[in-house]
Amino acid sequence: MRDALGVGLAVGAYGVGFGAAAVAAGLSVLQACALSLLMFTGASQFALVGVLGAGGGVLAAVAGATLLGSRNALYAVRLADLLRLSGLRRVAAAHLTIDESTALATGAPAGLQGVGFWAGGLSVFGFWNLATLLGALGAGAVDTSALGLDAAVGAAFLALLAPQVRDRTGLQVAVGGAALAALAVPLAPAGVPVLVAGLAAVVAVALHRGDA
Amino acid sequence: MTWAAVLLGAALCLALKLAGWLVPPAVLERPAVRRGAALLPLAVLAGLLVVQVLGDGRGLVVDARVAGLAAGAVALALRAPFLVVVLVAAAVAAGVRAL
């Protein structure tokens, strides 16, 4: 339970950053809050506002968010096996299926996995939405470009990315994705370079098919 | 248009989560799928990073954002919390712009 609150508070810090980034990208406070309530998966939300902020279209923004949300499906597979839920509880659990709730559930001792999941998921949900509102209201009150918020969003992407680079392949994929995006910027419409970057992961999977 | 992106994106992200709860594990537990889902965020986040920090319409430019990102990277390497990393990046970019 204490872990769940701690994780919720830590995530709140990202939430303030997201709310501010969303408003800096041109979303309304209501749209920023709707994303946190309805999408509720941080990296995807950052991706969506990042693409829209760069002038990207609806489809590119949605595709970027969806690509980043794909790992939640794999978390759900593990959780479904661990928690064995049905009916509406399963739909509610699906909405709360994110990095933090999965980590708390799988890290909890046997018998307490359900507690870890629900406490973690609900705590993060509460703090994330509150923090989004605060960040969005705060950014709405100031001139965001003079404050360097565009650079802050870049730093947010870096902070999301860095802990996920755990091995050589991960580093290669990140560098490859960055290079592909840079190449695509002059050639493709806004938003599309982010999707082109995703090809780096596809190439890595194809190359490493044998040793998986 | 922004609302369309918000609602459609939210629906698809929830659909992915639900799919994991409903689809038989065998489909999503294949090694290539697992590996792809683990690596996709790396590639996409790196792409977002480049567009956010270097992108300028149809071109790439090096400006105050790069200085901000570099400062944020230093903060990150020093294990600063997320909010500090972001604030340092914003402050340095704003400082460079004010020069």
pLDDT in tens, B39-58: 888 999 999 999 999 998 88
Whether A161 maps to a domain, the answer reads no
Whether A50 maps to a domain, the answer reads yes
Q: CB-CB: which of A55, A158, A202 is closest to B49?
A: A158
- pLDDT attached to residue A1: 66
Per-residue pLDDT tens over the stretch A122-147: 999 999 999 999 999 998 787 666 67
- Residue type at B95? G
List C-alpha distances in Å: A32 to A50, B2, B37, B80.
12, 10, 26, 26
Nearest-Cα residue of chain B relative to residue A68 = B41
Whether A54 maps to a domain, the answer reads yes
Q: Is B97 touching A (CB cutoff 8 A)?
A: yes
CB contact under 8 A, A193 and B76: no
- Per-residue pLDDT at A36 exceeds 80: yes
Mean pLDDT, chain A, integer: 90
DSSP B13: H
> Which residues on A lie below 8 Å from B7 (Cβ)?
34, 38
Q: Which two tokens stand for residue A47?
A: 């991706």
Whether A71 maps to a domain, the answer reads yes
ipTM value of the model?
0.89
Q: Is B99 touching A (CB cutoff 8 A)?
A: no
Give the span between the Cα atoms of A75 and A145, in whole angstroms: 37
> Which residues on A lie below 8 Å from B32 (Cβ)?
205, 209, 212
- Per-residue pLDDT at A212 exceeds 60: no
**Which of residues A208 and A174 earns the better pLDDT score?**
A174
What is the nearest CA distance from B54 to chain A, expressed in angstroms?
Answer: 8
- pLDDT attached to residue B41: 87
- Per-residue pLDDT at B64 exceeds 50: yes
Q: How many domains does chain A have?
A: 1
> What percent of chain B has a predicted confidence (pLDDT) above 90?
65
Report, as an integer, the average pLDDT of A19-41: 95
User: Residue A128, by phi and psi: left (phi above 0), alpha (psi -120 to 50) or beta?
Assistant: alpha
List C-alpha distances in Å: B42 to A88, A155, A192.
33, 15, 16
Whether A170 maps to a domain, the answer reads no
Whether A92 maps to a domain, the answer reads yes
Per-residue pLDDT tens over the stretch B65-83: 999 999 999 999 999 988 8
pLDDT band (50, 70, 90) for residue A211: low
Look up the domain containing A68 and give its range: 2-143
Whether A111 maps to a domain, the answer reads yes
Whether A184 maps to a domain, the answer reads no
User: Which range has the worst mean pLDDT, A56-60, A129-133, A142-146, B95-99?
Assistant: A142-146
List C-alpha distances in Å: A137 to A32, A134, A149, A157.
10, 5, 14, 21
**Which of residues B38 and B18 earns the better pLDDT score?**
B18
Counted across chains A and B, CB pairs separated by less than 8 A come out at 323
Q: CB-CB: which of A61, A85, A176 is closest to B43?
A: A176
